A and B are shown apart, each in its own frame.
Chain A
């Protein structure tokens, strides 16, 4: 075998794919819930960024990763509540508000970070991992999948849970109806705005946790603008997944791997210009979009505010 597929390379690729993929997975699942209910949540990038900042600050001062994730989730929900207020309750344009929230979050976190830490970038200790006995001894795969922070396992379980939620519960039916034909849901006696508000808040929570994971586990530091499009990739994943959480998982793995390629190729010491390497994930995004965008499905009432029986 040539230089490429060495054990170090593959190990680094898989490890990186999980690290990068988990925030994408959380964002994608969150966005999927939101979109199912008919809210195009473009503010998810901002929710992740605020979540990353809140999560980092909490983890930094308390020293607890769990409190960090909790703070990240709450921070994300705070941003999401703005989205609920403007887009769901006041029926304003979801795209405008979403972009405003993202840009606002970028400015706010940069400012807060500056006040808090000035120009220093303090680092967290390495995230504790929960080793799965037996499995973590497998070479290459073990360290990548079975010696990770518990949130990694929880996120995978979340996929199964969300799939069950969609298929087997009233919440699933309500979400689907809110995005497909909200008037039908209203006529069935379910509050459309409440359903959408719940969906958006959940999205905020998941996005915030995903952001906190990026900062605390992935990077170990907070840097302004660090989300760097992960939220937008989450939107793409949700659109390509046609309402199926397992497709979000697959997509997150795919995008995670291609994003991790950058680091992995550098670790493998391959003699390719860094610029080319850093371009790869985005080329991947474009290829995937071209190949699968035709199959994307959007709920008919996506991005349309709901008003009851007006004439």
Chain B
């Protein structure tokens, strides 16, 4: 099973400590990574995984502790040094140059005084892609590949110089279910070749499915380690319990129990919502079409309607028109033709303020892009869409005291973890930024709320909180639209699920027992039966 198990580890960390102002990101972490082993590094957001990866990749220096590679003490002072030590890293955010082709990206990093050697690069490319079992056209610009393919290119690059160690930082967060499966196959093939794989994730199920060994980080410390022998000895049930215990131990028994339920319910289905199915539609889209733009999938004839209290899911592989749909709903993008009605009022050409007056709220997937302003305080971000309007502004004058007291109240009620309301939003964690967004967008006067990938990049606890918020919104009688690429999430939350393919609604499925199979078929472009 593990050809190299028992031998000296490829990489070992000894007492790695890294401090940032106000945060102890890594606290005395010692770990060993063996060849031929997929070592899952599991932890919540902010547990210190990314810092540890940054240190291995030479992006950051530890304040204390040292690293050994094949028993020899090394200092990884730069990314180049990391590559030279045969550590290949695939970062969470794709680090490729969009305007260069696949093969050009792979040739990056050669000595600058040399001409680049396309021919031998192509040879190496085919060699590695065969090893991984992937097929990619080397002459396509990176910007035209799907995220899954881009990640495959990253893996190829990480192995380009004969990597012994492959570090994958949250590799599944951008992938479709099929993409995750393919990635799993790639990892197994590579570890079979003796490569040490460090698989960083916050998804428990993936850590268990792909990891030969699981280490859990919590609040910058190593909370525990499950070696391969133990992992095999334990059944899935016991292993899961063990991991949960490691992940949430400090939070006390209650949180542990919470976490357990939440993981158990991962595959569950929400009890059928109790909304008036014969009632009037809260929002209706009639044959909505948007203008095609280069590189984006436009809407080609989308029709559906959502009733108050209903949760309507939008499934589909990313890039099949979800972005345009969200923007059209929010009023950020005009519809070329077709009509949108909100509570009986036609709203086809109105912008964001008009849409908000109708009670439409949009929770974007670009939390730090179009959702919030990282350089503004939490307080300002909470009133971002009401700038100039009472009660926070009067005659064009900002009433800071009201904004701050409003913020303090919201921070309290929504449990936003921030040092103060004056803290810059960009300093908060992803989960807390999402809480700010949710607090701002869901209020008493909202009637339609659109959630775009509401749990993307969030850890377990925040994922659960966000999902609870969605269900609560629906229970308050809000027509809720959830756009997500995670099928499990939609199955868990929604009453009906529409599947988008190529800018069209391939079909709308009632969320019943066999929904998954139907949706899966529709996602690939097959028409509804």
Task: List 5 A-B pairs, minimum CB-CB distance, nearest first.
Answer: A189-B80, A188-B109, A309-B59, A188-B108, A184-B95
**Is B112 a contact of A311 with CB atoms below 8 Å?**
no
When distances are taken between beta carbons in the complex, the residues of chain B under 8 Å from A171 are 112
Interface centre among A168, A183, A187, A309 (most CB of B within 10 A): A187
A177 within 8 A of B: yes
CA distance A195 to B110 in the complex (A): 13
Minimal Cβ-Cβ distance residue in B for A198: B112
A186–B96 CB distance below 8 A = no
B57 within 8 A of A: yes
Closest B residue, CB atoms, query A189: B80
For the A-B complex, the count of residue pairs with Cβ-Cβ distances under 8 Å equals 77
A180 contact set on B, CB distance < 8 A: 97-100
Q: Please tell me if the beta carbons of B116 and A189 are within 8 angstroms of each other in the complex.
A: no
B224 touches A (CB below 8 Å): no
Identify which of B78, B97, B105, B115 contacts A189 (C-beta below 8 A): B78
Nearest Cβ distance between residue A106 and chain B, in whole angstroms? 35
Are A174 and B95 closer than 8 Å at their CB atoms? no
Which listed residue, B60, B83, B95, touches A183 by the CB 8 Å rule? B95
Q: Within A232-261, which residues are at the interface with B (CB < 8 Å)? A: none
- In the complex, the answer to whether B100 meets A173 with C-beta atoms within 8 Å is yes
Contact of A181 with B96 at beta-carbon distance under 8 Å, contacts A169-B114, A174-B112 already known: yes
Residue pair A187, B57 in contact (C-beta under 8 Å) = yes
In the complex, A294 has a CB within 8 A of chain B: no
Q: Would A177 and B112 be within 8 Å (CB), given that A189-B80, A308-B59 are in contact?
A: no
Task: Give the residues in chain A near B371, CB-CB below 8 Å.
Answer: none
Q: Which of A183-204 contact B (CB under 8 A)?
A: 183-190, 195
Closest to B158 in A: A187
Query: B104 interface residue, CB < 8 Å from A?
Result: yes
If A189-B78, A189-B109 touch, does A181 touch B95 (CB 8 Å cutoff)?
yes
Task: Check A311 against B108 for contact (C-beta < 8 Å).
Answer: no
Complex Cα gap A180–B142 (Å): 12
Known contacts A174-B112, A309-B54; decide if A187 and B97 are in contact (CB<8 Å).
no
Contacts A174-B108, A309-B59 given; indicate if A168 touches B97 (C-beta within 8 A): no
Q: Does B111 contact A (CB under 8 A)?
A: yes
Across-interface contacts of A169 in B (CB, < 8 A): 112, 114-116
CB-CB under 8 A from B57, the residues of chain A are 187
* Smallest CB gap from A243: residue in B: B99
Is B107 in contact with chain A by the CB < 8 A criterion?
A: yes
* CB of B404 within 8 Å of the partner chain: no
Q: Is there a chain B Cβ closer than 8 Å to A32's Cβ?
A: no
Q: How far is the CA of A129 from the CA of B484 in the complex (A)?
A: 69
Cα distance, A173 to B116, chains bound together (Å) = 9
**Roughly how many angstroms separate A195 CA and B105 CA in the complex, as a whole number?**
16
Give the contacting residue for A170; candidates B89, B91, B105, B110; CB below 8 A. Answer: B110
**Complex: A133 Cα to B351 Cα, angstroms:** 68
A41 at interface, CB cutoff 8 A = no
Determine the distance from Cα of A309 to Cα of B59 in the docked complex, in whole angstroms.
6
Contact of A187 among B79, B104, B110, B112 (CB under 8 A): B79
| Known A169-B116, A170-B113, A189-B83; 13 more pairs at CB < 8 Å | A170-B112, A174-B108, A174-B112, A176-B97, A180-B100, A184-B96, A184-B108, A187-B79, A188-B79, A189-B84, A190-B80, A190-B112, A309-B54
Q: How far is the CB of B103 from chain A (nearest CB, A)?
A: 10
Partner of B108, one of A177, A300, A308: A177
Q: Assuming the A-B contacts A187-B91, A309-B60, are A176 and B99 also in contact, with contact meaning beta carbons closer than 8 angstroms in the complex? A: yes
Question: Contact mask A293-311 → B, CB, 8 Å, 1/0?
Answer: 0000001100000001101
Complex: A154 Cα to B325 Cα, angstroms = 54
Tell me the bound Cα distance from A52 to B91 in angstroms.
47
List B contacts of A186 (CB < 8 A).
Answer: 79
Residue interface bits B169-183, CB-to-A below 8 A is 1, else 0: 000000000000000
CA distance A177 to B116 in the complex (A): 15
Min CB gap B525→A, angstroms: 32
CA distance A186 to B59 in the complex (A): 9
What A residues does B79 contact at CB under 8 A? 186-189
Residues of A near B20 (CB, < 8 A) are 311
A173 adjacent to B98 (CB under 8 Å): no
Closest to B117 in A: A170
- Give the docked Cα–Cα distance between A36 and B59 (Å): 24
In the bound complex, residues from chain B placing their C-beta under 8 Å from that of A188 are: 79, 83, 108-109, 157
CB <8 Å contact, B100 and A176: yes
- Residues in B whose Cβ lies below 8 Å from that of A185: 97, 108-109
8 A Cβ contacts from B142-187 to A: 157
A189 to B98, CA, bound (A): 18
A170 CB contacts on chain B under 8 angstroms: 107-108, 110-116
> Which residues of chain A are near B95, meaning CB under 8 Å?
181, 183-184, 187
Give, as a whole number of angstroms, the nearest-CB distance from B506 to chain A.
Answer: 33
A-contacting residues, B68-103, CB 8 Å: 78-80, 83-84, 89, 91, 95-100
Specify which chain B residues have a CB less than 8 angstroms from the CB of A308 in the assembled complex.
59
Tell whether, in the assembled complex, residue A173 and residue B99 are in contact, meaning their CB atoms are under 8 Å apart: no
Considering the chains assembled together, what is the distance between the CA atoms of A189 and B91 in angstroms? 14
Query: Which residues of the other chain, B, contact A174 by a CB distance below 8 angstroms?
Result: 108, 112
Are A168 and B108 CB-contacts (below 8 A) given A180-B98, A187-B91?
Answer: no
Q: Is A190's CB under 8 angstroms from B96's CB?
A: no
Residue of A nearest to B60 (CB): A309
- Max chain A C-beta neighbours (<10 A), residue from B78, B89, B112: B112
Known interface pairs A169-B115, A170-B115, A184-B95. Does A190 touch B100 (Cβ–Cβ under 8 Å)? no
For B51, give the chain A residue with the smallest CB separation.
A311
Q: Contacts A170-B107, A187-B79, A309-B60: A177 and B97 contacting too (C-beta < 8 A)? A: yes
Find the residue from A171, A184, A308 having the highest chain B CB count within 10 A.
A184
How far does the alpha carbon of A181 sit from the alpha carbon of B110 in the complex, in Å? 17
B199 nearest CB across to chain A (Å): 19
A181-B89 contact given A169-B115, A188-B109, CB 8 Å threshold: no
Q: Can you name 5 A-B residue pairings with CB atoms under 8 Å?
A: A170-B111, A173-B107, A180-B99, A181-B97, A187-B57
- Return chain B residues, CB-CB under 8 Å to A168: 115-116
Q: When chains A and B are docked, how far (Å) is the Cα of A190 from the Cα of B450?
A: 43
User: Separation in Å of the A32 CB from the closest CB of chain B?
Assistant: 14
A residues within 8 A CB of B78? 189
- A311 vs B83: C-alpha distance when bound (angstroms): 22
Residue on B with the closest CB to A175?
B112
Smallest CB separation, B236 vs chain A (Å): 35
In Å, the complex CA distance between A169 and B97 comes to 16
- In the complex, which residues 6-50 of chain A have their Cβ closer than 8 Å to any Cβ of chain B? none
Per-residue CB contact flags for chain B residues 293-306 toward chain A (1 = under 8 Å, else 0) read: 00000000000000
Measured CB to CB, the nearest residue on chain A to B104 is A173
CA–CA, A180 and B60, complex, Å = 23
CA–CA, A123 and B520, complex, Å: 80
Task: Tell me the chain A residues, 147-177 only, with Cβ under 8 Å from chain B.
Answer: 168-171, 173-174, 176-177
In the assembled complex, the Cα of A187 lies from the Cα of B107 at a distance in Å of 13
**A-contact bits for B118-159, CB 8 A (1 contact / 0 none):** 000000000000000000000000000000000000000100
A169 to chain B, nearest CB (A): 5
